[in-house]
Amino acid sequence: MSGSITSLWRHPIKSHGRESLDDVTVSPGQTLPGDRVWAVAHEASKADGSKWVPCANFSRGSKAPNLMAISARLEGDTVTLSHPQQPDLQFAPDSEQDAFLNWVKPLMPADRAASARIIRVPGRGMTDSDFPSISLCNMASHRAVEQKLGRDLSVCRWRGNIWFDGLPLWEEFDWLGKDVQIGEAVFNVRERIVRCLATTANPETGERDADTLGALNSWDHQDFGVYAVVVRGGNIRVGDKVQVL
C-alpha cells in the first residue's frame, strides 16, 4: 500500500510563516532545507543560539494566535513576511532584527513575554523535537478532524512539512520505528506529534476558531502527524510515492 505527496511546506522562522514548495532535496540527519532556520526568542528566554532549546523559549502560535496568519518566502538569507494586518516585510533575519521586532509587535498579545531577538543554531533547524526532524502528515487524518468538527480546515494549522494522501487515517502512527520511502529519500519514523493550541487558530485570520484539540481527544489522544529523520537523502516532489519499506 502506498500514498503520494500532496504538498510540501517549510517555515523559515519558527512560528512566523509558512511557504509552499514544489520540490526539495533532503539530507541525512538534517531538517528540511530552509525549515525553522531561525526562531524568535522572547524576553524571558535563555536561548542564545549556542544549542537547541525547547519551544517554550520562543514566541509561538500557541501563545500568540495572530502569528498563525503569517506567510513567508525565503530567498537566500532574506525572508519576506506577509500578514493580513501588516504591510509585507522583507528583511535579513541575521542582521535586520529591529525591523522584524517592530513589525511583529502589534501581532503579539500584551500579556505575553515580548519578542526580543532572532536566533539560529548553525546546521540545526529549531524543530520542536530535540532531534533534527521532518514532520509527515496524513490528509486522511486531516479530513477525519474536519469531519469531526463539521467544517473545512486549512492544512497550515498543523505546520507540517510533508503531506501525503491515499492511505488510511492514523496509518502514520503505525510507522513508528519503521523506514518510509518518500520520493528518492528514506525516513525513519520516530515519534507522534503532540499538538497544542496553535492548531486552534485560523491561518487566514489568526483568530482561534476551531477546537482541533477537542476533536483529536475524541480519539483518546492529542496527536497529529509524526516526526521522522532522514536516513537516506534525495529529492522529493509533489506527486511522489510514499510507502513503508
At 79, list the grid cell. 525572508
Residue 164: per-residue pLDDT? 98
The pLDDT tens digits for 30-41 are: 999 999 999 999
- Mean pLDDT for the stretch of residues 28-57: 95
Closest to 236 measured CA to CA, from 21, 37, 3: 21
Looking at residues 145-149, what average pLDDT do you find? 98
Q: Provide the pLDDT for residue 112.
A: 85
3 state SS of 106: helix
pLDDT at 182: 98
Q: HSE, CB side, 13 Å, CA atoms: give it for residue 31.
A: 27
Mean pLDDT, range 138-159, rounded to an integer: 98
- Residue 26's φ and ψ, nearest 5 degrees, are -100, 155
35 vs 10: CA distance, rounded Å: 5
CB-based contact 206:68 (threshold 8 Å): yes
174-220 per-position pLDDT tens digit: 999 999 999 999 999 999 999 999 999 999 999 999 999 999 999 99
Mean pLDDT computed over every residue of the chain? 97
Q: For the chain, list the domains and their CATH numbers.
A: 2-244 (2.40.33.20)
Rounded CA-CA distance 9/36 in Å is: 11
- pLDDT given at position 96: 97
pLDDT in the model for residue 3: 97
Percentage of the chain surpassing pLDDT 70? 100
Contacts of 125 (CB under 8 A, 6+ apart): 30, 31, 32, 35, 36, 37, 132
Query: 54 exposed, middle or buried (CB, 10 Å; 0-12, 13-18, 19+)?
Result: exposed
Q: What is the pLDDT of residue 78?
A: 98
How far apart, in Å, do the first and last CA atoms of the chain sit? 10
